[in-house]
Amino acid sequence: MSYTNQRIAYGNTLVELGKDNKNIVVLDADLSASTMGNMFAAEHPERHFEVGIAEANMVSIAAGLAQTGKIPFAGTFAVFMAGRAYDQIRQTISIGKLNVKLCGSSSGLSDFGDGATHQAIEDIALMRAIPNMTVISPADANETVQAVKAMAEMEGPCYLRLGRNDYENSTDANKKFVIGEPTVLKEGKEVVVFATGYMVSRALEAVKELEGKADVKVVNISTIKPMNSEKIADMVKDCKGVVTVEEHSVIGGLGGAIAEALCKSCKPIEFVGVKDKFGCSAHNHTELLEYFGLTKENIVKAITKMAQ
Amino acid sequence: MKYSKELIDELNVKAKKLRRYVIESVGVGMAGHMGGSNSSADIVTALYFYKMKYDPKNPKLVDRDRFLLSKGHVGILQYSALADAGFFPVEDLKKTKDLGFHLQGHPDFIKTPGIEAGTGSLGQGLSIGLGMALGLKLDDIKSKVYVLVGDGELNEGQIWEAAMAASNFKSDNLVAIVDHNKMQATGKLVDKMNPGDIVAKWKSFDWNVIEIDGHNMEEILTALDKADEVKDKPTVIIANTIKGKGISFMENVVSFHNGMLNEQTYAQAIKELS
C-alpha cells in the first residue's frame, strides 16, 4: 500500500508486521496520535504500551522488553527521542546492542508550528555518534514502509528519522530496503548530490531545473549509518564537486558523514542544511524551509558552484 | 520461625564470603565501591542463594528470575555472587577492571554471563526491569524481576517515572529493593539531597511497601516471599542498611563509597570477614 505521509506509513506498517510477528511491541509517550503508534494500539492493544509523558522511562522499558525477546518500536518526537532519552539510548541499548527500534518522528523543521523546542536539527549527529547504532532517514512514505520492515528484520539498535508532513513519493513503493545501501535516483557525472529525508524530493526538483545545464547525479542516502564509504568515494571519483542536502544542522549530519567518507577524495563539498541555528515557529513547513535556506534555489546554486 | 536456623546461618556465612570476595577483588591501593557493596551484601545473598531461579550453565534460561543491579557501581558485589553461584570462576574476581577482561567497572550485559542489562548511569534499572516484567507477562512466564536500587539513586527522576508506570501496569512480577543506607557518594542523604519519607513516597505511588532490617536474613527472606503473595501491584522492599556493614572501620564512613585500602586496613578487613 502506498501512503504520502511517513508517520502513517510507520503506523500502518507496524500494524501489518504485528499481525505475523507477535514479538513486535510498540511504545508511546503520550504522542501516539502523532507518531501513529495509535494504529498499532487499536489493532494489537495488548502489545502497545502507553507510558505517559516520560520518554526516558519509555526507552529503558523498551530495553527491558528487548531483553525478553520482544522487538520494541518506541516512538516520540525526534527532539525528545534523541535529546531527552539520549543517555538511556547510549547506556543500556547501545552498549548492550539491544534490539530496540527508536522512531524520531516530526524531525527536522517538519513540526513547523511548535518552534525551536520541538524541531530536531541535531538528532542525526547525536545518534550516529553512538557505537552500535544504525541510523535510517527514509526519503518518503514509500521508503518508510520498506525501512520499517528492514528494521524489524535486523538485529540491534536502530534510529529511524521521520518527517511530519504529507508530500509526494519519489522512491519506488516496492523496492526492498537494504540497510547501508545508497540509491542512485538519477545518473550524472559533473556533480554528485547526496540528499536525505524530505530534502531528497527538493534535490530532485533542483536537478530537474538544471537539465541541459549541468549533468548531476542524485543519490538518496537513507542509511546515514553505517555509511558505505567505499561506495560513496567510488560514486564521486569522476565528478567536479559534491553537494549534500538535509533538513538538519550542517554540523554532524549527512554533510558531516559524507565529508568523513570523502576526506581522502579531495573533492569540494557544499553543504545545504541548517546553518548551526535553532529552528523557530512558522505557519507552514515550506515557509520555514525557505527561512533557513533549504530551497530548490539554494540547491541549484550549490550545484552550479560545484559544476564550475 | 519459618526458616531453619541452618538456612539462616548458611546464608549469613555466604554473605560474609561475598563481602570477602569484594575486598579481595578490590585489593590494596586501588579504589573500589566497598561501602555500598557491603550494605547490599545480605540482600544479594538472599536473592542468589535462596530466592531466585537460575542456571549458571544456561544464563539465558527462559524462565529464570532476573536480577538487575540498578546501583551498578557495586558490580563487584554482583560479580562475587555470580562467581560463587558458578557463572564464571571465582579466580576471575581479582581480574576485575583488567584491560579487556569481562568484568568491567560497571555491569556489562554483553561481556559478563549472568548480567541482565548494562547499568551504571543511575536511575534507569527500575525502568529496564519493568520492561522485562511486561515482556515476561506477555509470554505468560511466571518469573520475577528484582531490581536493587540505592537510596541516593532515588534522587534520579526516572526512578519515579518507573514507579508510576509499574503500578499503572499492575506489574506484580516486579520487586524493587531499596538499599537504604542513608548515604550517597559524597555524604549523608540528609545533608545532600534527602528523599524524605521514602516509605510514604512509594505508598503514594501505589506500591506494596515492606520495610525491613536489610541485614537481618530472616526479615529479608520473609519480605521476598511475601512479595510473591501480592497481586496486581509491584512490591518495594525498603531495606534499612549500614553502608560498609561487616567491616568495623568502614561502617557509616562516606569515603568508603569508592574507597581504597592499604596493606594494614586490607588485612584488618579480611580478618573481620574470616
Cβ pair B206, B31 in contact under 8 A: no
- Of the pLDDT bands very low, low, confident and very high (cuts 50, 70, 90), residue A102 is very high
Q: How far apart are CA B76 and CA B40, in angstroms?
A: 11
Cβ pair B148, B40 in contact under 8 A: yes
User: What does the domain layout of chain B look like in residue ranges?
Assistant: 5-272
Asked if residue A1 has pLDDT above 90, the reply is no
Going by their DSSP bridges, the two strands B187-188 and B183-184 should be labelled as antiparallel
* pLDDT one-digit tens code per residue, A209-262: 999 999 999 999 999 999 999 999 999 999 999 999 999 999 999 999 999 999
Calculate what percentage of chain A has a pLDDT beyond 70.
100
Which residue, among B204, B206, B185, B202, has the nearest Cα to B237 in the 3D structure?
B202
CB contact under 8 A, B127 and A57: yes
Task: Tell the residue number behind the cell numbers 528487548, with chain if given.
Answer: A66
Q: What is the pLDDT of residue A2?
A: 77
Mutation target for A interface from B63, B71, B124: give the one with most A CBs within 10 A: B124
Chain B CB contacts of A98 under 8 Å are: 109
Asked if residue A179 has pLDDT above 80, the reply is yes
For residue A45, give the chain B residue with the closest CA.
Answer: B138
Count of other CB atoms within 10 angstroms of residue A228: 15
- Identify the sign of the CA torsion B194, B200, B204, B206: positive
Q: What is the pLDDT of residue A75?
A: 98
Which grid coordinates belong to B265? 586496613
Query: What stretches of chain A show up as alpha helix (H) in DSSP?
Result: 6-20, 32-35, 37-43, 55-66, 78-79, 86-88, 123-128, 141-153, 199-209, 229-236, 254-261, 285-291, 296-307
Helix A199-209 vs helix A296-307: angle between axes, to the nearest 10 degrees? 60
CB contact under 8 A, B118 and A92: yes
Q: How far is A63 from chain B (nearest CA, A)?
A: 6
Q: How far is A147 from chain B (nearest CA, A)?
A: 25
Which grid coordinates belong to B154? 532515588
Return averaged pLDDT per consecutive 10 residues of chain B, 274 residues in all: 93 98 96 96 98 98 98 97 98 96 95 96 98 98 98 98 98 98 96 96 98 98 98 98 97 94 97 95
Cβ pair A115, A281 in contact under 8 A: yes
CB contact under 8 A, B131 and A87: no
Q: What is the dihedral of CA B161, B163, B166, B167, to 10 degrees?
A: -120
Asked if residue A199 has pLDDT above 80, the reply is yes
- Give the containing element (helix H, strand E) for A31: none
Global ipTM? 0.95
Q: Can you tell me the mean pLDDT for A26-41?
A: 98
Q: What is the pLDDT of residue A131?
A: 98
Q: What is the pLDDT of residue B1?
A: 64
Average pLDDT for chain A: 97
CB contact under 8 A, A63 and B169: no
Q: How far apart are CA A32 and CA A34, in angstroms?
A: 5
The CATH homologous superfamily to which domain A6-161 belongs is Thiamin diphosphate (ThDP)-binding fold, Pyr/PP domains (3.40.50.970)
On whether the A183-307 domain is CATH 3.40.50.920, my answer is yes
User: What does the domain layout of chain A look like in residue ranges?
Assistant: 6-161, 183-307
Q: Can you tell me the mean pLDDT for A64-80?
A: 98
pTM equals 0.96
Mind telling me the catalytic residues of A?
55
* pLDDT one-digit tens code per residue, A136-163: 999 999 999 999 999 999 999 999 999 9
* pLDDT one-digit tens code per residue, B65-79: 999 999 999 999 999
Peptide bond into A226 cis (omega under 30): yes
Q: How far is B131 from chain A (nearest CA, A)?
A: 4
Q: How far apart are CA A228 and CA A235, in angstroms?
A: 11
Chain A CB contacts of B118 under 8 Å are: 91-92, 95-96
Domain B5-272, CATH among 3.40.190.10, 3.20.190.10, 3.40.50.300, 3.40.50.970: 3.40.50.970
* Nearest residue, CB atoms, B118 vs list A46, A62, A91: A91
Asked if residue A295 has pLDDT above 80, the reply is yes
